[in-house]
């Protein structure tokens, strides 16, 4: 009888532990506030850039959002253009990637209503407008990745590709796509 009771107590304990783990994975933990972090570092999100063709800014499927590529566009419509390593320095490219991150966060906020619903930055595809001899694409796309980690902490760390392109739309210096996991 004692063995049976211990088995039941163990089963109950395991069930409660699993239930608490699944609950903690479906809601943000206390203190998680990416919007407060943005405010603390002085970033105000602009209105999200609007698509210029027959596509949407992002598609939500299940608990993932796939964001269309965005570039380094200022709120007034100006863009950082040119080939990195030729017309644009690595440092300017880095700032362009950071500006692109701000634009992608604006899209996310518009889609989600609150960035606290971001569970994890999953995957980044960073494209750099450069000539074939340029090999420092990762240094440029770090501008995007560094801001994601600054805003989301460990949840901002992601898988990533940083590749060179012969050209990008409107001659922009970078374009970045993003996959995000969200809380229910």
Mean pLDDT for back-to-back runs of 10 residues, the chain (184 residues): 50 48 60 94 93 94 97 95 97 98 97 96 98 97 98 97 97 98 94
Q: Is residue 51 part of a domain?
A: yes
Per-residue confidence (pLDDT) for residue 52, from 0 to 100: 83
Per-residue confidence (pLDDT) for residue 8, from 0 to 100: 52
For 125, the domain range is 34-182
Tell me the torsion sign for CA atoms 76, 82, 84, 88: negative
Per-residue confidence (pLDDT) for residue 10, from 0 to 100: 47
What total of structural domains would you count in the chain? 1
Strand pairing report for 64-70 and 174-182: antiparallel
Per-residue confidence (pLDDT) for residue 111, from 0 to 100: 97
Q: Is residue 27 part of a domain?
A: no
Q: Domain holding 62: CATH number?
A: 3.30.1330.40
Q: Is residue 79 part of a domain?
A: yes
Closest among 115, 117, 141 to 128, alpha carbons compared: 141
Per-residue confidence (pLDDT) for residue 5, from 0 to 100: 52
């Amino acid at each position: 009888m004692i063995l049976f009771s211990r088995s039941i107590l163990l089963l109950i304990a395991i069930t409660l532990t699993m239930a608490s783990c699944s609950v903690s994975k479906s809601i943000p933990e206390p203190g998680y506030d990416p919007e407060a972090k943005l405010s603390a570092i002085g970033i105000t999100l602009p209105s999200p850039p609007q698509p210029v063709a027959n596509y949407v800014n992002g598609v939500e499927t299940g608990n993932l959002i796939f964001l269309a590529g965005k570039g380094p566009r200022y709120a007034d419509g100006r863009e950082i253009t040119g080939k990195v390593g030729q017309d644009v320095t690595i440092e300017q490219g880095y700032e362009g990637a950071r500006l692109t991150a701000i634009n992608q966060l604006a899209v996310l906020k518009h889609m989600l209503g609150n960035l606290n619903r971001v569970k994890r930055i999953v995957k980044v595809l960073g494209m750099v407008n450069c000539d074939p001899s340029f090999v420092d694409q990762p240094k440029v796309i770090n501008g995007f990745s560094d801001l994601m980690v600054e805003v989301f902490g460990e949840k901002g760390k992601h898988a990533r590709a940083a590749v060179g392109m012969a050209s990008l739309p409107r001659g922009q210096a970078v374009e970045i796509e993003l996959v995000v996991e969200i809380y229910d």
